[in-house]
Structure 1
Amino acid sequence: MDEALLRSLTPGVLAILVRRGADFAAAEDAVQDALVEAVRVWPAEPPRDPKGWLVTVAWRRFLDAVRADAARRRREDLVDEEPAAGAVPAADDTLQLYFLCAHPSLTPSSAVALTLRAVGGLTTREIARAYLVPEATMAQRISRAKRAVSGVRLDRPGDVATVLRVLYLVFNEGYSGDLDLAAEAVRLTRQLAARVDHPEAAGLLALMLLHHARRPARTAPDGGLVPLAEQDRGRWDTGMIAEGVAILQGALVRDRLGEYQAQAAVAALHADAPSAEETDWPQIVEWYDELVRLTGSPVVRLNRAVAVGEADGPRAGLAALAELDAALPRRTAAEAYLHERAGDRETAARLYAEAAHQAPNLAEREHLTRSAARLNAPRPR
C-alpha cells in the first residue's frame, strides 16, 4: 500500500466532497472511511484511477450517512442533484481547502492543526506527537475546528495572506516528536506556490528553504544550540540554498515586495556569506528597514538593532535597542550580545543570566546560561 499516494490524494478528495455540498466534518469522516476501504481493497485490486475511486467511495459513504439521518433530509435532496460521484473535476479543489483551513473564525493553533489534518493528510496521532500533546487533546482541537468551518461555503476567493501565515506558523514549530513540521511546511508551501500566482507564496517558500538549509548545523552533538555566527557552513544544504535564492529572485523581479520576500532576502545574504565576518550587514540593515516599513513589527525592529550593531558597531546597536520596549521577547538576550561585542563582559554576563530566565524553551535557556557562565569564568592569564 502506497501511503504517500493516499496522503497526496486525500486533500483533493476531501475538497471535492465539500464543494459538492458536504459539510466539512461529515466529508472528513467519509474520506477517512474511504481510506480504510482503500487499505483493505487496493493491495488485491488496485484501481486504475485512485483519486476517482476514493471520490466515489467517499461520496457514497457520505450519502449513506445523510440518508441515515432523518434530520438531514433537506440536505439529502440537495446532494442527490449533484453530478455523478465518479466524475472528478479538473478544478483545483485543494487550493480551496487551504483557504477553508485558514478561515478567520479559527484560532491560529486550530488553523494549523486543521491544515495538517486536511491538507497535509496527517493523522490526529501524528499531529499530537508533533505538538507533544495527548491525542485526545488534539482530537478535540481538530473537532472544534471542523465544526467551526462546517457551514462555510467554498464560493468566494480565499485570502492567500491568511493561508501563508498559517503555513509560516507550521514551519516555525520546527521539529518535535516524531514529525518534522518544518519539512511538512515546506512541502505544503511548495504545493501552494505551484497553485497560486502570488509573489509572497514564492517568497515564503524561499524563506523556508533558506532557513531549512541551515538546519543540520544548528545543533551541537549534545543537542545544544549553535548560533549562526558559529555554525559550520560546510554543513549547510547548498542545493536547497540555490533553489531558495532562485525562487526569491523570481519573486523580487515582479516588484511586489512583501514581508516574506524581504525576510528571505535577509536569509539569502546570510547564506551567501562565506563566513560570519564577511556577511553584508549594511545591506541586511537596508532589508530590515524595508521590513519595518512593511510590518512595523517590534520583533523586526529588534532584529534590525542587532544588524545595526554588526554594521555600525555595538554602541549603535545598543542605541537602536534602547528605543524598544524592555518587555519585548528576546530583547534582553540581544542586549547581552551587544554588550559582549562592546567588551562589557560583566554587564553581558548579568543580562545573559537574566535572559535565560525569560527563555521560551529549554534549548535557548541552556544556551544563554552557558553564555553567562562563559563570561563569568576566570579569564586565562
Structure 2
Amino acid sequence: MGSPSILAVATAADLAASALNPSLDSWDQAPAASELEALVTAALAKEVYGTPADALVTTGGTESNQLALLLARELHGAVQLVCARNAHHSLRRATWLLGLPEPITVPAPAGTLDPTTLDATLTKLPGPLIVAATAGTTDAGLIDPLPAIADICQAHGARLHIDAAYGGGLLFSDRHRSSLDGLRRAHTVTLDLHKLGWQPTAAGLLAVQDPHDLRVLEHHADYLNADDDTEAGLPDLLGRSLRTTRRPDILKIAVTLKTLGRQGLGALADQVCAHAREFAHLIAAHPGFELYAPPTISTVLFRPTHWTDDAVADVRRTLLTQGSAVLGRARPDGRLWLKATLLNPHTTPGDLAALLKLVEGHTPR
C-alpha cells in the first residue's frame, strides 16, 4: 500500500513519450514538448504561488531539493541550511554534494519543525541562511507549521524552501488545500506528482517564486543554444535543468491535467485522505493494535499492542518477503511503527481490514 497507483491516462502518455523519444536538451529536437513544458510548468507554479511564477521539471523530490539548495548557494553564497531532524535525507546529501556546511538540525518534538526553537536557532546564526520546512514528512506524513515558519524566516531574512514532495498534491483539493497555507511564501517548493498526482516516475518539479532566480542555471553550449539562435527567438532549454538529455516527462502530467483537471485530481486526493482516516478509526477501535496519531494526509502509523520492536520489524519483513503486503517503518517516538501510506484511491474497507488481519495473524518471535 506504500506505492501509488498509476493513472491509466498517464501511463498511456508516458508510453507515447517513449515511442516518440524527443529530448529536451535543445528546442529543435522537441519543439512541441518544449512549448508544452513551458505552459504546464507555469500553470503548476501559479497553482503553488497564486501569481505568475516558474517551475522546473525534475526526476523527483531528491533532485528538486538539491536544485533548491543550489539556487540558494549561487544567489547568496555558502548558505547554512537549517531543518528539522526528520527532514528528508536528500537535504543533508545535497549540502554534501554542493560543498555547503553541515546542516543545523532543529528538534521536532511533535514530529514537526518547532517554530520557537527555529526562531532561537536563527537568532544565533550568521547569514546567509536557508530554512527547509516539510509538507508531508516521510515518517508520519505531517505538515510543518508553514505560516509561522514563513514569519520567522522573513523576520531573520532567511530564504525558505518547502519540501512538499508528498503533501503538495493537496493543492488540487478544495477540502485539504488550506493545510498548505504558507506554501506560497516559500522561495522554492519541491513537488513530486509521482505521489499525490498518480504519475509514473519521473514526475518531480521545483517551483520557484521569482523566475529570475533561475538565471544562475544558464549555461552555454554552441551546438545546443547558439547565441544567434537565441537572439532569433528559439527557446534556450539548457538552463531548464542540470540534465542535458531529458525525456518529455511533462507530457503525462499535461494529459492528466487535461483529462481530470484540478477537480478530478482533488477528488482522488480526498479519497486517499478519507481512506487513511477510515483505517485509523479501524485501528483505534481494535484492542490488539495501537494507533500513533490521527493521519494528517494519508500516512497511518500503527503497531500491535505490547509487541517488541523486534517483533514489529519481523512481521514487516515477513509480509514483504511473502508478497502479502508492503508496509514502511518509522520511529517518530523512538519506538518502531508500521507505516501504511495509502495512495490508491480504489482501496476498499475490506482491503484495510484484511491488512490488519495479516498483521494480527503473525506470531511474534
More helix by share: 1
For CA contacts below 8 A with separation 6 or more, give which structure has more relative contact order.
2
Higher-Rg member (1/2): 1
TM-score scaled to structure 1, two decimals? 0.23
The structure whose residues are more often strand, as a share, is: 2
